[in-house]
Structure 1
Amino acid sequence: MKIRFATTDDIKKMHQIYSYYIINTAVLFTDIIPNLKEFDDYINKIKEDYPVLVAEIDNKLVGYTYAKRIYNSKAYDYTVESSIYLDVNHVNKGIGSVLYSKLEEILIIQNVISINAYISINKKDDEFLDNKSKNFHKKQGFEEVSYLENWGYKFNKWYDCIWTRKYINPVCKPPKKFKSIKEVEVLIIF
């Protein structure tokens, strides 16, 4: 498996993976698939400050992860939201753990304080949502900080949501200077 920074050539496959989760799961509550240009613009905006990583097996993209400012304000440089999406044929193979580990390593260098994940959950697994993401994040060291009942409605059913968080750098005052991905990418070894 190879982990690397995402490039423009990856956008189509990343979009395909993302679209699968919109159409077939309650992992995402949205039912609107962005067009390829909208998705490309979204990913490129993230890449201005934070890492977007892909995993490849035999030169085929099988998953991606990224972190972004949790809200659109410089005050949140240190508080990111992470997302991870794997090709449905490549889940439960350790790819997510490797991707998240590399993402965390880079965010530490950027002086990010905490990684947060917004996760759809289900009281009982169904064909649209299991709790693998919740369990995955717990295994990665995330702790649940908020539970939102009946938060999203999709596929004629209410789903709950949790916010999870993992501190990766100490909280200090003032915080160390945030470093954009452009400032640290030369330091990253894959």
Structure 2
Amino acid sequence: MNIRPATVEDAQAIADIYEPIVRDTTISFELEVPTVAEMRARIEKTLQDLPWLVSEDASGRVNGYVYASKHRERAAYQWSVDTTAYIREDARGQGVGKSLYRELSRILVDLGYCQAFAGIALPNPASVALHESVGYRPLGVYRKVGFKHGHWHDVGWWQCELQSVAQPTAPARFRTV
């Protein structure tokens, strides 16, 4: 397995992983499948400040991705991020998600982030198990917060303390060459 920063050239592979999740499940609350162009724009925007990583299998094919986004806009939240991971269906249960999250956490600590949050549409025992296996702890549940596929759905929130810093300095930006 090879983990590296995503590039805009990964947009098709990322869109291919994400499409059935949006279309067929309530794991994502997006209602419309993003186009490859939209995915490319998301990757470019994220990489200006925060990491977006992909995992490649032995054949060099993208089998999962993880990224961080701002937790909230107010300045006091600048040391906190939200995290998201998706794994290609045939690569689940092989440690791809754990490896991606461990690398993402290492980078986030290096950049100066202190807290990471993950929202998980419930029920999703596989995602809960993944997040808890890499140090996320449950915080609470937003009840009936998303409506998709004709039903209301809850979202559970998990938190991972990346590091404890008494007097933090502004986090560095993640820039790839």
Unaligned residue ranges in structure 2 (runs of 5+): none
| Structure 1, 154-163 or 93-102: larger mean CA deviation | 154-163
| Counterpart residue identity of residue 72, structure 2 | Y
**Contact 2:52–2:66, Cα closer than 8 Å, also in 1:** yes
Distance in 1 separating the partners of 2:97 and 2:45: 23
Task: Please name the residue that 2:30 is paired with.
Answer: 30
> Residue 42 of structure 2 corresponds to which residue in structure 1?
42
How far does the alpha carbon of each residue in 1:39-78 deviate from its partner, in whole angstroms, 9 at most, with x for none? Answer: 2111211100111110001111101101111124554331
Q: Which residue of 1 aligns with 2:111?
A: 110
User: What residue is the counterpart of 2:169 in the other structure?
Assistant: 176
Q: How does 1:89-128 map to 2 (within 5 A)?
A: 89-122=90-123
Give distance in 2, aligned partners of 1:74 and 1:17.
33
* TM-score when normalising by structure 1: 0.86
Deviation at 1:30, TM superposition (A): 1.9
Structure 1 residues 75 and 34: alpha-carbon distance in aligned structure 2, compared to 1, 3 A threshold: farther
The alignment-based identity, stated in percent, is 27
Q: Which amino acid aligns with 1:148?
A: Y
Distance between the aligned counterparts of 1:160 and 1:77, measured in 2?
26
How has the CA–CA distance of structure 1 residues 103 and 168 changed in structure 2, closer, same or farther, with 3 Å as cutoff? same
**Pairwise CA RMSD:** 1.6
Q: How far 1:156 moved relative to its partner?
A: 2.3
Partners of 1:5 and 1:73 in 2: how far apart? 27
How far, CA to CA, are the matches of 1:69 and 1:161 in structure 2? 18
Q: How does 1:29-178 map to 2 (within 5 A)?
A: 29-57=29-57, 58-122=59-123, 130-173=124-167, 175-178=168-171
TM-score, normalization by structure 2: 0.92
Provide Cα deviations, 1:4-32, integer angstroms capped at 9, x if missing partner. 11112111110111112101111012211
How many equivalent pairs are there? 176
